[in-house]
Structure 1
Amino acid sequence: MKLKHPFSSFVAVAALALTLLHGTVVQAETVNIAYQYGADPAKLAQASAAYEKATGWTINWRRFDTGADVVAALASGDIQIGDVGSSPFAAAISRGVPIEAVVLNALTGASEALVVRNGAHVDKQQDLVGKTIATPFVSTSHYSLLAALKHWNIDAKQLHIVNLGPTEIVAAWSRGDIDAAYTWDPALGKAKQSGKVLVDSTQVGQWGSPTFDLWAVRKDFSQAHPDFVQKFVAVTLQAISDYRANGKSWTAASPQAAAISKLSGATVADVPQLLAGNVYPGATEQASGALLGGGTAKAVAATARFLKEQKKIDQVLPDYSTSITARYIQASASK
């Protein structure tokens, strides 16, 4: 038997070590993040690779049509961070999905609305009875639709509510298969071209059912990589800060609107109005008792109770604060 030269063995061992080390580094420095359609300042940070520059990580951005799809991917571990609305987040926590909210993306306003099709003969709220309305189930739009119907004293069973994502709504609207839709862009913009807004989420929020978008992180990921999450939160807050300071210059002709349009699904002409339709709380506001410091947990609990009442979830937890943290916000606010 021919013995291997000692140096050959050393090279083989070293190569194996480097391979293992390289594999570990690649795994630790790559993350899968889900985003949805919709215009918000974070889209600009995404488009400019600000998250990658701040963290040094490779980010695989994956677009999903609905929050329910994002939650399913978070539950399976296919993604580690996802942009979700308050309604799918409340449903996910109630079902035991191991995620936590780390930063708010936006407080929903006119960027989500109920639009009725011209020719559907809906002139007032009660005219919705017997109509077919599309919305992505368990989304913030779905929650707002049900809340609006309750406010108008209309039983949801008196309508035909169908589960369609934004892109599916566009197709159904074009065919005339639906009479109305509660949704966001690109479906919202398409519907407005041949319909009228009956109510938007600003009004529904004022009626006592506010909604919001947030970044949710798998708890195992945030525990293993708190530095990444901290930097991710900081970039999101900086994007919000930039918009609050300079948003008036983000006109339809601006490069900011063009970049956001490509990721949001909204036409560039609609981006400024959509951005202005939401509220973007800064670090100090987010860390306060009104939001991630306590108020957000209460809002999520209220959403969960409503979803259970509507038989969309089976149980409501006694406490939702364990799935909402302000620690990353507080760390950013203190810098």
Structure 2
Amino acid sequence: MARTLSFHSLITALALAAATVSAQAADLTVAYQTGIDPSKVPQASGAYEKAIGEKIDWRRFNSGSEVVTALASGNVQIGNLGSSPLAAAASRKLPIVAFIVSAQINSSEQLVVRNGSGISKPEDLVGKTIATPFVSTSHYSLLGALKHWGLDTSKVKVVNLQPLEIAAAWKRGDIDGAFVWSPALGEIRKTGTVLTDAAQVGQWGAPTFEVWVARKDYAEKHPDVIAKFARVTLDAYADYAAHRNEWTADSAPVKDIARLTGSNAADVPELLAGSAFPQAQVQTSPALLQGGTAKAIADTAAFLKEQGKVESVLPDYSDFVSAKYVQ
């Protein structure tokens, strides 16, 4: 099973790929992940294809670093990834642009410690093995939590595992805890205790979010496609906001989300509630695409540099964000 690239390996791959890729595939290929969000509903129904007017090759990826690598190679034109891999990619000047903040992560990503691991408070993490997918928002949150608690990362064994690997390692007893998202999160919580979550870590100064991004060359050639993709996504967010109480475990939207992500339908309503999905008027506000998102990327990159995870940061990240497709 493939593992997530390390930060340094990812950066090297991005630099090489960004320098060599010049052509795009004729068909639209979209990379998605297993995060729980309302856009999975139009993905399942074919609404994106209907709006855009062409076939979409949907490809499922395990983590944001894998999505970034696919974007860099030119095999994917649109992809969903988190703020941490976005900051790492932008810092290496990968030609991508974020056109929607797809989720503001709160309790949908959590640090769970295994029952019987002897961990009941942050100090107990010393000497323990904690898994997370590297270059992910969960990894970023874990680093932020350790910093807040004053724990030296060299004293906690942080290992790089994909979500499915985390679930397997948890069952074998190979790890003491994990910071991860669904569906692995739903599985490990059955026999674990939540120590903190992304919402709390965000309040401590390390917020995380997810975005839809496009390769810049594709977006410049097909702005109508990106705009239509954005509209379908935001319509799904509006529908969820208006009918969230109806999105129960046995409802059609929740079943669609569970099928696409591999999650338990019973867990989906709570996981949906664990993130905020900004609607159109918020997307185009100074808080997000009109300035706030670029600043958040810069702050994330600065933290990653402080942690030794990226080599340098850019003076300005506004070129990697655009509100025009939503407008």
TM-score (structure 1 length as normaliser): 0.89
Q: Which residue of 2 aligns with 1:199?
A: 196
- Tell me the distance in 2 between the aligned counterparts of 1:213 and 1:45: 18
Partner AA of 2:90 in structure 1: I
Partner AA of 1:132 in structure 2: T
Matched-pair contact (CA < 8 Å) for 1:29–1:57: no
Q: Which residue of 2 aligns with 1:283?
A: 280
- Tell me the distance in 2 between the aligned counterparts of 1:76 and 1:29: 14
Matched-pair contact (CA < 8 Å) for 2:111–2:180: yes
State yes or no: 1:76 paired with 2:76: no
Query: 1:1-335 residue pairs with structure 2 within 5 A?
Result: 30-330=27-327
Encode CA deviations 1:219-242: one digit per residue, 9 max, x unaligned. 000001001001000011101111
- Structure 2 gaps of 5+ residues are 1-23
Q: Summarize the Cα distance change of 1:29–1:75 in structure 2 as closer, same or farther, 3 Å threshold.
A: closer
Q: Summarize the Cα distance change of 1:123–1:28 in structure 2 as closer, same or farther, 3 Å threshold.
A: closer
Matched-pair contact (CA < 8 Å) for 2:25–2:74: no
Deviation of 1:38 after TM superposition, in Å, equals 1.4
Matched-pair contact (CA < 8 Å) for 1:94–1:316: yes
Encode CA deviations 1:53-78: one digit per residue, 9 max, x unaligned. 10011100000001000000001111
- Tell me the distance in 2 between the aligned counterparts of 1:116 and 1:95: 34
Partner AA of 2:249 in structure 1: A
Encode CA deviations 1:86-111: one digit per residue, 9 max, x unaligned. 00000001112110001111100111
Partner AA of 1:318 in structure 2: P
- Tell me the distance in 2 between the aligned counterparts of 1:170 and 1:28: 35
- Tell me the distance in 2 between the aligned counterparts of 1:45 and 1:308: 37
Encode CA deviations 1:255-284: one digit per residue, 9 max, x unaligned. 111000011222000000000111111111
Matched-pair contact (CA < 8 Å) for 2:25–2:75: no
Matched-pair contact (CA < 8 Å) for 1:38–1:265: no
Deviation of 1:120 after TM superposition, in Å, equals 0.4
Partner AA of 1:157 in structure 2: S
Partner AA of 2:316 in structure 1: D
Partner AA of 2:174 in structure 1: D
Deviation of 1:198 after TM superposition, in Å, equals 0.4
- Tell me the distance in 2 between the aligned counterparts of 1:289 and 1:157: 38
Deviation of 1:311 after TM superposition, in Å, equals 1.0
- Structure 1 gaps of 5+ residues are 1-26, 331-335
* CA RMSD in angstroms, aligned pairs only: 1.0
Paired positions, count: 304
Deviation of 1:293 after TM superposition, in Å, equals 0.7
Deviation of 1:138 after TM superposition, in Å, equals 1.0
- Tell me the distance in 1 between the aligned counterparts of 2:263 and 2:207: 23
Deviation of 1:28 after TM superposition, in Å, equals 7.9
Aligned partner of residue 326 in structure 2, secondary structure? helix
Deviation of 1:299 after TM superposition, in Å, equals 0.5
Aligned partner of residue 117 in structure 2, secondary structure? coil
CA radius of gyration, larger in: 1
- Tell me the distance in 2 between the aligned counterparts of 1:29 and 1:266: 32
Moved over 6 A (4+): none
- Tell me the distance in 1 between the aligned counterparts of 2:62 and 2:119: 28
Partner AA of 2:243 in structure 1: N
Aligned partner of residue 325 in structure 2, secondary structure? helix
Q: Summarize the Cα distance change of 1:29–1:248 in structure 2 as closer, same or farther, 3 Å threshold.
A: farther
- Tell me the distance in 2 between the aligned counterparts of 1:135 and 1:210: 17
- Tell me the distance in 1 between the aligned counterparts of 2:42 and 2:306: 38
Aligned partner of residue 41 in structure 1, secondary structure? coil
Partner AA of 2:229 in structure 1: F
Aligned partner of residue 282 in structure 2, secondary structure? helix
- Tell me the distance in 1 between the aligned counterparts of 2:186 and 2:56: 29
Partner AA of 1:216 in structure 2: V
Matched-pair contact (CA < 8 Å) for 1:40–1:275: yes
